Chains A and B, each alone.
Chain A
Amino acid sequence: MNLGSGALGEIASRAVSDYSNFLREYLIVGLFGVLAFATVATFIGLARVFRPDRPTAAKIENYESGVDPVGDGWSQSQIRYYIFALLFVMFDVEAVFIFPWAVGLEQFGVFGLVEMVIFIFILALGLAYAWRKGVLRWV
């Protein structure tokens, strides 16, 4: 089985200058992030020149359809979001495992396919269990 074409194998076999190019790619990712912040900051900064700034007590009140706001804005919310978040974490980790397999499927052949079908079956079993327990029901 030739796994030398994977990302790690490639890094190991590259010369130093190639490795520097590899890091430069991620430097561009960082620069894109900086660019996003700069774009938003430019627009909002530009608006600072034109916009008025006269906050009054009524204006900076929270909006609750025009009546005086009741209580604190940070009210309690439903626990069911938490359970869905837990389910999400389970499936997201699964996705991390599926991607390397999907790339290498041609090399793994039938063995890899059977392995992954078992893996997916176990996950589906977990989903079926949650389904059966009524966790997926939004009451």
Chain B
Amino acid sequence: MMLAVEWFWLDWPWWADTVVRLIFAIVVVLLPAGVTVYLYLFKMVSFMQSRLGPMEAGPYGSMQLLAEVGKNLQKEDIFPAKADRRVFALAPYVVLLSTFLLAVVIPFGPQATFINLDTGVFFALAVSSVSVVGVIMAGWASASKYSLLGGLRAAGQLIAYELPLILAVVGVVIQAGTLNLQGIVTAQTEGEIFGFGGLGNPYFFTQFIGFFIFLVAVQAELTQVPFDMPIAESELVSGYMTEYSGFRFLMFFIGEFATANIFAFLGATLFLGGWQVPPFVHDLLGVDANWQYFNLIGPGVMLAKMLLLTFVVYWVRFTFPRFREDQLQKFAWKFLIPLSLLNIAVTGAFKVWL
């Protein structure tokens, strides 16, 4: 089976290999963002609300995204008179920086990784909180009351839900016994459920509490609707983005939805078995788990799992009403964090005694 695929990454000079990785990085960050924004944010919400959504630009409005980009390209880039200009200009960069760095560690196949860090999960959780800095920068530098309130709310919310996110992932790390994302995928593939290995052991079976906490925390980290206090449009106009216009505003928008996808990729890797297909498919095809062609199949599998998870994100977004600020903090500190601590203790006990 050592055929066509192998030449593609093994014998390239390091610089060429890196350039290919960087090109794929842009594809991984921007393309799924476009797909999910059109599919879910434009179309699915429209059908849920008994309307058609965009229909004019292209067949079924599929070119709507390009139209939006074209529109925002022509918009004036307004800097408020009182704003701290340098910080104001820098904030969207920091938000997108967090998104790109988060994408670095996601594996898409046995060799198809950007980098295979030993501390993958830890790295991902660390860089995911960089976006908080960008949001506070945007809120503070705008010198507007709405922006400042939005920025502070975002900071309070993101740090409150950072903890359940981290603690939920610890359960997975205990089960897999590694921080390496590739290792976690392998552990799920080789796992068994009561001696039955046909499905492997995707951790949403055993870590269902962790999976629930992870989904809730991700929803909050993305400031999607039940947790959209920072940009609550009926109270704060648009929160920390109020003073932004044109393409600088669109960068926040892209950052938000690209991060949603990357978090969904991360969730798929941690809880749904990653790029790997269920092991009974290996037997059907008569191949082993590191078959060369999984480097081509893997991204497709990841895309399917990512679409499934982002579907849940948007479904919740369009279904639930907004939390109040005190309810939001209460939910994180008095429910999710104790629950995730309990989850860690129980998972540890199972790991040691079973």
Give the B-binding residues of A (Cβ under 8 A): 7, 10, 24-25, 28-29, 31-33, 35-37, 39-41, 43-44, 46-48, 50-55, 57, 59-65, 69, 72-75, 77-78, 81, 84-85, 87-88, 91-92, 95, 98-99, 102-106, 109-110, 112-113, 116-117, 120, 123-124, 127, 131, 136-139
Of B22, B155, B237, B247, the contact of A63 (CB 8 Å cutoff) = B237
Contact: A63 with B146, CB < 8 Å? yes
Least CB distance, A33 to chain B, in whole angstroms: 6
For B166, the closest partner residue in chain A by CB is: A95
18 additional A-B pairs beyond A102-B173, A136-B334, beta carbons within 8 Å, are A35-B100, A39-B26, A46-B247, A51-B75, A55-B79, A62-B143, A64-B145, A69-B144, A72-B82, A73-B144, A84-B160, A85-B155, A88-B160, A102-B170, A105-B351, A113-B348, A124-B338, A138-B329
Least CB distance, B123 to chain A, in whole angstroms: 8
Contact: A72 with B179, CB < 8 Å? no
For A130, the closest partner residue in chain B by CB is: B333
**With A84-B156, A84-B160, A110-B352 as contacts: A75 and B148 at CB distance below 8 Å:** yes
15 contacts between A and B (CB under 8 A): A25-B115, A28-B21, A37-B93, A37-B96, A44-B247, A60-B78, A64-B144, A84-B333, A85-B159, A95-B163, A99-B122, A105-B174, A113-B348, A127-B337, A138-B330
Least CB distance, A40 to chain B, in whole angstroms: 5
Residues of B with C-beta under 8 A to A54? 76
CA distance A72 to B82 in the complex (A): 9
Contact: B341 with A120, CB < 8 Å? yes
Asked whether B119 is an interface residue with its Cβ less than 8 Å from the other chain, the reply is yes
Least CB distance, A96 to chain B, in whole angstroms: 9
Contact: A51 with B143, CB < 8 Å? no
**With A47-B77, A88-B163, A136-B329 as contacts: A65 and B247 at CB distance below 8 Å:** no
CA distance A60 to B88 in the complex (A): 14
Contact: B118 with A63, CB < 8 Å? no
Residues of B with C-beta under 8 A to A55? 76, 78-79
By DSSP majority rule, is chain B's interface helix, strand, loop, or mixed? Answer: helix
Residues of A with C-beta under 8 A to B163? 88, 91-92, 95
Least CB distance, B180 to chain A, in whole angstroms: 9
Contact: B162 with A88, CB < 8 Å? yes
Of A33, A50, A102, the contact of B174 (CB 8 Å cutoff) = A102
Of B104, B338, B348, the contact of A28 (CB 8 Å cutoff) = B104
Of A36, A46, A85, A99, the contact of B170 (CB 8 Å cutoff) = A99
Residues of B with C-beta under 8 A to A28? 18, 21, 104, 114-115
Contact: B96 with A77, CB < 8 Å? no
Closest CB pairs A-B (n = 6): A73-B143, A138-B326, A36-B100, A47-B247, A102-B173, A88-B159
Contact: B146 with A64, CB < 8 Å? yes
